[in-house]
Structure 1
Amino acid sequence: MTPKIIGLTGGIGSGKTTVANFFKQLGVPVYIADAEAKALMSRSKIIKRKLLQLFGNQAYLDNKLNKPFIAKQIFNNEDLLKKMNAIVHPKVAKHFERWVNKQNTDYVISEAAILFENGSYKKYDYIVTVVAPKDIRLKRVMARDKTTVKKVEAIMNNQWDDDKKIALSDFVINNTDLENTKLQVGNIHEKLLKSITKP
């Protein structure tokens, strides 16, 4: 039986990775789309060739993906971001498909930041959205990425607001207190297992 696919999403700084790790602790396989995309951008010769055509020779330094350069290029440049995603996303989707087929569980989690924004939310069996107040999210990202309020807010402005995401989600996790978040993950895990294994 092919596992059910659960989309896990949330705005920047909401704590998707924390939630993903709690699911992992429960034995659920988790696919982090962003990490896999970066790995493929470094590994795939086809992607590499196309990114060099798109961004020029600075896209790679010493054969390694030049993340700061690319981040700077796509920052506030929606057209360039779309072109890059059109190169990377289809490859990630194929890689994910192969990964799912190797899993032997009732369900798997696919963690992706822009699951609603790019329309891919329609292909999931269930969606879990992680939310947290904006001020908490800003603090988290600024501490994690050593960045500015302006830069974090620019990313936030490219993402749907929480209300819009919640309306299309099956489950919502309020991630402000770790213990409480862990409990919420446990409850969702139980509900998912029940609904998937129901005859």
Structure 2
Amino acid sequence: MTKIIGLTGGIGSGKSTIADYFRSLGVPVYIADEQAKKIMDEPEIVKKVQSIFDENVIENNSLNRKKIAELVFSAPEKLKQLNSIVHPEVKRHFLDWVRKHNKFPFVIKEAAILFESGSYIDCDRIILVTAPIDVRIQRVIKRDNVSKDQVMERVKNQWDEDKKIALSDFVIENIDLENAKAKAQEILKVLNKM
């Protein structure tokens, strides 16, 4: 049976870079956030999401993600409601995807909030990508053209690194990309022996 390897990390840790690296090595990688965005474009999901907000969050028949992000990051209850709509759909889609990749010994599920969503319990092993908070903040400011305060607001919605490390089987410190890739290769050798 195909094993599920969770890959996660705090905002700006570089988990997407590591996911891309695993993919380049021939490992099937499911990017949960990308799929969630696609699922959020489905008309019935658009209606369900609009129903949890008092103000209009639909623009040109699609959800205005920036507006939703602004609304949910300061309202944990709304974020919880949003996740309760999107996460079950992503889970269903992911399980279909795993079935299509059942000839592989394992697949990787990359998810920013693997722990926060509770979906880590469905994983056979977990890889956590970390980097010092100041490095992560600078990466996100540069990548998303946002302020430090906006980054810190997002960080507050994610679990503390120590809590994640305690639940992870492998940790990749992603400060220097070549070192991070070398660690990813070591992990791959262990996973191939599972």
Residues in 1 aligned to 2:15 and 2:31: alpha-carbon distance in whole angstroms: 10
In structure 2, the partner of 1:156 is 155
Output the aligned Cα RMSD: 1.2
- 141-150 or 160-169: bigger deviation: 160-169
Identity %: 51
SS at match of 1:129: strand
Q: Tell me the distance in 1 between the aligned counterparts of 2:161 and 2:59.
A: 37
SS at match of 1:69: helix
Q: Unpaired segments of 5 or more residues in structure 2?
A: none
Distance 1:156 1:119 in 2: 17
C-alpha displacement of 1:140: 0.1
Number of the residue aligned with 1:178:
177
Q: TM-score, normalised by structure 1?
A: 0.93
Q: Give the aligned residue type for 2:122.
A: K
CA distance 1:48–1:56, change in 2 (3 Å): farther
TM-score (norm 2): 0.96
C-alpha contact 1:58 1:69 (8 A) present in aligned 2: no
1:187 equivalent in structure 2: 186
Q: Structure 1 CA distance, aligned partners of 2:127 and 2:141?
A: 24
SS at match of 1:155: helix
Distance in 2 of aligned mates of 1:126 and 1:10:
14
C-alpha displacement of 1:132: 0.3
Amino acid at match of 1:134: I
Deviations 1:105-156 (A, max 9, x none): 1111101111112222111000000000011000000000100111111111
Considering fraction of residues, name the structure with more helix.
1
2 CA distance for matches of 1:174 and 1:65?
35
Give the AA of the match of 1:166: I
1:99 and 2:117 equivalent? no
Structure 1 residue aligned with 2:137:
138
Secondary structure at the residue paired with 2:159? coil
Letter in 2 for 1:87: I
Cα distance in 2 between the residues matched to 1:57 and 1:96: 31
**Mapped partners of 1:5, 1:33: distance in 2:** 13
